[in-house]
């Protein structure tokens, strides 16, 4: 998203899960690192760093916002795109080709 698109969104939050930071917008879906649970389960994210409520209402955490849990539901458990890992050593007849698909969880945000 560009900064103009982010500014046009009235409410959003920045949270942390799986060692990465993500932006949450109510009603949108997002793929994050694998979380425990089945499709349809309700989850909450407690490590919220910033919440934008309205035009000029911001809540900043130090490092996290108090009472700033984000409510979400799991849409599906799936795998990400395949990444090809190719190892090669010249003049040694050594070639190994493997692939990897990282497990991900797709979540839909309900409320902040």
| Domains in the chain: boundaries | 3-111
- Say whether pLDDT at 69 is over 60: yes
pLDDT band at 75 (very low <50, low <70, confident <90, very high): very high
Mean pLDDT to the nearest integer, 70-97: 97
pLDDT band at 7 (very low <50, low <70, confident <90, very high): low
Distance (Å) of CA 99 to CA 7, 89, 96, 102: 39, 18, 10, 10
Q: What is the pTM of this model?
A: 0.80
């Amino acid at each position: 998203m560009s900064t103009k698109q982010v500014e046009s969104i009235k409410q959003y939050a920045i949270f942390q899960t799986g060692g990465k930071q993500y932006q949450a917008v109510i009603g949108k879906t997002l793929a994050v690192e694998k979380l425990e649970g089945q499709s349809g389960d309700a989850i909450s994210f407690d490590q919220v760093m910033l919440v934008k409520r309205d035009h000029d209402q911001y809540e900043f955490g130090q490092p996290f916002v108090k009472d700033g849990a984000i409510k979400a539901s799991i849409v599906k458990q799936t795998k990400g795109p395949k990444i090809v890992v190719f190892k090669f050593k010249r003049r040694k007849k050594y070639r190994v080709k493997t692939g990897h698909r990282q497990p991900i969880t797709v979540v839909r945000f309900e409320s902040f």
